[in-house]
C-alpha cells in the first residue's frame, strides 16, 4: 500500500463526464505534476479546483479535481478525484500520464481494500458496498445499506466483546486453578452462552431472507403438461416469453425470467410439465423441473380444473421434492362457469383463469403479500455465504462450550471452544483475516471501487 493507484471509477465508454480516482501517498503530488492552473500541494483538503491536465506540453482535457487529504477519505489515504470528459481516449490518456508520474493502475476492489486495511470499514461493510452497487431491487438495496451503515457489524462486534470478557474470566480462573477461585459464576456463564447462541441462531435464520432479497425470490411454476404454466409465466412478466400451445409437453427446458413488484425481485421459472414420458429430451426436462423445485422459495403448482380432482392435486404435490412454500393455482376457471368448483385443501389455493388480467392481478397481489410476510428487510439479515459459514462455525463452537459446561468438562476445554467462537466472529467482521479470504472478497469488485 505504499504505492499510489489510479483507475476509472465510472463505466467504460462514452459519457458526459467520467471520474478518475487516485489514491496513495503520492496522489496529490502526481496529479499536481500534470495539472495546470494551481499548485495543488498548497490547497485546503476537500476542495475542488478547475484547470487542465497536461501530458508534458500537450493539453489533454479541461477538468475539475477534488483534492482530499487522508485520513478523512474513502481509502483513508490522500486521494484525488478527477472529473474529465467521458471519452475513452481522454480517460486512457489521463491515466497513462498519471502512470508516468508515479501512479499505477489499480486492481479490482483495491480502493475498498485499502479502506478496509486502514480500518475505514470492516469486511461486512466492504461486502455491502459491492451488494449496494449490484442491488437490483428496493429490498436488496435496503439490506445492503444496513450492512454499509455497520448495523450488522455492530451487532456481531457486541457479541464478540461479551464473549471476550467471559473468556478472559475463565482463563483467569485457569491461572489461579491451584487456589480454586471462581471469577465467573457457572450460572451467569451458562446464561450468557445461551443468549449468544440464541442470537447467532436467529442471525443464521435470516440468511434465506438475505439471499432472497439480494438475488431475488425464486418461484417455480410446475404442474402437469397443458395446465397453463407458460401462460402464467408470460402474464407475470408481461411478455410472450415462453411458447404456449395446446400440445402437452410444449415446454421442455426450464425458462427463467425476472420481474419486480413493490421492491421485491422475483425470479420465475417455468418448467416442463411433469409426466411419465419416453421422449429422452422431455425426460431431462422433467428432471430439471425436480431440481428447480428443490431450489424454489415458492412453488406455484398449476392444474387444469377440468382435468384433475382436488385429491389428485394434493396427492401429486405430496410426491414432489418441494422444499419451499406452496401455492396452488386452480386454472382455467372460465371453462366451468356454471358449476360449483371444489378446491384442494392441502395448501392455499387461488382459483384463476390465466387468460383473465384481473385474475393475474390477484395472483400478483398474493405473491406480494406472501413475500412481505416472509421476507422483510427489517432488522438485521445475512447476505453472504461467507458470513453464513462463519456464523455456522461459531454456532457449533458455542454449542460445544455449552455442552462442556453442562457436562462439567475441564475449564480449558470450555475456554478453547469460546476462543474458537471469538475467532470465527472475528473472521466474519475481518478483525482476523487471512490473505485468501481477502483475495476472494475483493476479487469480486470492479476496478475503480
Ligand atoms: N380456457 C383456458 N385456456 C387456458 C388457460 N390457461 C392456459 N390455457 C390454454 O391451455 C393450453 C396450454 O397452455 P400452456 O401455458 O402452454 O400450458 P403449459 O402448462 O405450459 O404446458 P406444457 O408446457 O406443455 O407443460 C394453451 O392452449 C393455453 O392457451 C385458461 O385459463 N383458460
Ligand atoms: Mg409450458
In a domain? residue 193: yes
Ligand 2 centroid vs 221 CA: distance in angstroms? 9
Judge if 192 and 248 occupy the same domain: no
Is 439 inside any structural domain? Answer: no
Instruction: Give me the CATH number covering residue 273.
Output: 3.40.50.300
Strand partners, 316: none
Does 365 lie in the same domain as 265? yes
Q: Do residues 370 and 234 share a domain?
A: yes
Q: Summarize pLDDT for 19-60 with one digit per residue, the tens.
A: 999 999 999 999 999 999 999 999 999 999 999 999 999 999
pLDDT above 80 for 157: yes
Secondary-structure breakdown of the chain: helix, strand, coil percentages, each rounded to the nearest 5: 50, 20, 35
Q: Is residue 404 part of a domain?
A: yes
Residues 102 and 29: beta-carbon distance below 8 Å: yes
**Rounded (5°) CA angle 445-446-449:** 85
Q: Is residue 262 part of a domain?
A: yes
Q: How far is the CA of 367 from the centre of ligand 1 (A)?
A: 21
Q: Are residues 195 and 71 in the same domain?
A: no
Q: Is the pLDDT of residue 180 over 70?
A: no
The CATH number linked to 85 is 3.30.1360.120
Statement to judge: residues 96 and 132 lie in one domain: no
Q: Which of 271, 354, 363, when mutated, tests ligand 1's pocket best, judged by the most ligand atoms within 8 Å of its CB?
A: 354
Specify the CATH number for the domain of residue 134.
1.20.120.430
The residue whose C-alpha atom lies closest to atom 12 belonging to ligand 1 is: 226
Question: Do 340 and 241 fall into the same domain?
Answer: yes
> For atom 32 of ligand 1, which residue has the closest CA?
332
Domain stop point among 69, 95, 117: 117
291 and 413 together in one domain = no
Q: Is the pLDDT of residue 218 over 80?
A: yes
pLDDT tens digits for 242-280? Answer: 999 999 989 988 999 999 999 999 999 999 999 888 888
Identify the three-state secondary structure at position 85: strand
Q: Are 237 and 362 in the same domain? A: yes
Ligand nearest to the CA of 245: 1
d(CA 225, ligand 2 centre) in Å: 7
> pLDDT band at 184, cuts 50/70/90?
low
| Of the candidates 206, 207, 210, 232, the residue with the CA atom closest to the CA atom of residue 219 | 232
Domain-ending residue, one of 333, 348, 374 = 374
> What's the number of domains the chain is made of?
3
pTM confidence score: 0.78
Residue nearest to atom 2 of ligand 1 (CA): 332
Note the Cα 444 to chain centre separation in Å.
12
Q: Per the domain annotation, does 122 fall within a domain? A: no
Q: Contact at 8 Å (CB) between 9 and 73?
A: no
Closest ligand 1 atom to 352 CA: 31
The backbone torsions φ and ψ at residue 408, rounded to the nearest 5 degrees and listed phi first, read 55, 40
Give me the domain span that covers residue 156: 128-206+382-430
Q: Are 74 and 41 members of one domain? A: yes
> Rounded to the nearest whole angstrom, what is the distance from the C-alpha of residue 230 to the centroid of ligand 1?
7
The ligand 1 atom nearest the CA atom of 221: 19
Assess whether pLDDT exceeds 80 at residue 185: no
User: Ligand 1 centre and the CA of 340: distance in Å?
Assistant: 22
Would residue 437 count as lying in a domain? no
pLDDT at position 177: 67
Do 101 and 226 belong to one domain? no
Residues with CB under 6 A from ligand 1: 225-231, 244-246, 248-251, 273, 331-332, 334-335, 353-355
Residues 220 and 360 in one domain: yes
3 — alpha (psi -120 to 50), left (phi > 0) or beta? beta
Strand partners, 13: none
57-94 pLDDT, tens per residue?
999 999 999 999 999 999 999 999 999 999 999 999 99
Q: Is residue 443 a part of any domain in this protein?
A: no
Last residue of a domain, one of 77, 96, 117: 117
Q: Looking at ligand 1, which residue's alpha carbon is closest to its atom 8?
A: 228
Q: Considering the domain boundaries, does residue 422 fall inside one? A: yes
Report yes or no: 288 and 253 within 8 Å, Cβ to Cβ. Answer: yes
Distance 361 CA to ligand 1 centre (A): 18
- Please tell me whether residues 87 and 175 are part of one structural domain: no
| pLDDT surpasses 90 at 227 | yes
Amino acid at each position: 500500500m505504499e504505492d499510489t493507484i489510479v483507475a476509472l471509477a465510472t463505466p467504460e465508454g462514452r459519457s458526459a463526464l467520467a471520474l478518475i480516482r487516485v489514491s496513495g501517498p503520492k496522489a496529490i503530488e502526481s496529479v499536481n505534476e500534470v495539472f495546470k492552473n494551481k499548485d495543488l500541494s498548497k490547497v485546503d483538503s476537500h476542495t475542488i479546483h478547475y484547470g487542465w491536465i497536461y501530458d508534458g506540453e500537450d493539453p489533454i482535457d479541461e477538468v475539475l479535481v477534488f483534492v482530499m487529504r487522508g485520513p478523512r477519505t474513502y481509502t483513508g489515504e490522500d486521494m484525488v478525484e478527477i472529473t474529465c470528459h467521458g471519452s475513452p481516449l481522454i480517460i486512457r490518456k489521463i491515466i497513462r500520464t498519471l502512470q508516468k508520474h508515479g501512479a499505477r493502475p489499480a486492481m479490482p476492489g483495491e480502493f475498498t481494500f485499502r479502506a478496509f486495511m486502514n480500518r475505514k470499514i470492516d469486511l461486512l461493510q466492504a461486502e455491502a458496498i459491492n451488494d449496494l452497487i449490484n442491488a437490483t431491487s428496493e429490498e436488496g438495496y435496503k439490506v445492503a445499506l444496513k450492512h454499509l451503515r455497520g448495523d450488522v457489524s455492530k451487532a456481531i462486534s457486541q457479541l464478540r466483546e461479551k464473549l471476550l470478557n467471559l473468556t478472559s474470566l475463565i482463563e483467569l480462573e485457569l491461572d489461579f486453578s491451584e487456589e480454586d477461585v471462581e471469577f465467573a459464576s457457572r450460572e451467569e456463564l451458562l446464561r450468557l452462552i445461551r443468549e449468544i447462541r440464541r442470537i447467532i441462531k436467529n442471525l443464521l435464520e435470516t440468511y434465506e431472507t438475505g439471499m432472497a432479497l439480494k438475488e431475488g425470490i425464486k418461484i417455480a411454476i410446475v404442474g402437469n403438461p397443458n395446465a397453463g404454466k407458460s401462460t402464467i409465466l408470460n402474464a407475470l412478466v408481461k411478455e410472450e416469453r415462453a411458447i404456449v400451445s395446446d400440445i402437452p409437453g410444449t415446454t421442455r427446458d426450464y425458462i427463467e425470467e425476472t420481474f419486480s413488484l413493490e421492491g421485491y425481485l422475483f425470479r420465475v421459472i417455468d418448467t416442463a410439465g411433469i409426466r411419465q414420458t419416453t421422449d429422452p429430451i422431455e425426460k431431462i426436462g422433467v428432471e430439471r423441473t425436480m431440481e428447480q423445485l428443490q431450489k424454489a422459495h415458492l412453488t406455484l403448482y398449476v392444474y387444469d380444473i377440468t382435468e384433475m380432482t382436488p385429491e389428485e392435486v394434493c396427492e401429486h404435490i405430496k410426491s414432489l421434492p418441494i422444499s419451499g412454500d406452496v401455492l396452488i393455482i386452480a386454472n382455467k376457471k372460465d371453462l366451468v362457469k356454471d358449476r360449483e368448483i371444489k378446491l384442494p385443501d392441502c395448501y392455499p389455493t387461488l382459483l384463476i383463469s390465466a387468460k383473465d388480467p384481473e385474475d393475474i392481478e390477484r395472483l400478483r397481489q398474493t405473491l406480494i403479500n406472501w413475500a412481505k410476510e416472509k421476507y422483510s428487510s427489517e432488522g438485521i439479515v445475512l447476505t453472504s455465504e461467507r458470513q453464513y459459514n462463519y456464523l455456522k462455525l461459531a454456532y457449533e463452537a458455542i454449542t460445544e462450550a455449552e455442552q462442556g459446561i453442562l457436562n462439567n468438562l475441564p475449564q480449558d476445554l470450555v475456554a478453547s471452544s469460546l476462543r474458537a467462537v471469538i475467532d470465527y466472529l472475528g473472521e466474519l467482521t475481518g478483525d482476523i483475516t487471512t490473505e485468501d479470504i481477502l483475495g476472494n472478497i475483493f476479487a469480486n469488485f470492479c476496478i475503480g471501487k
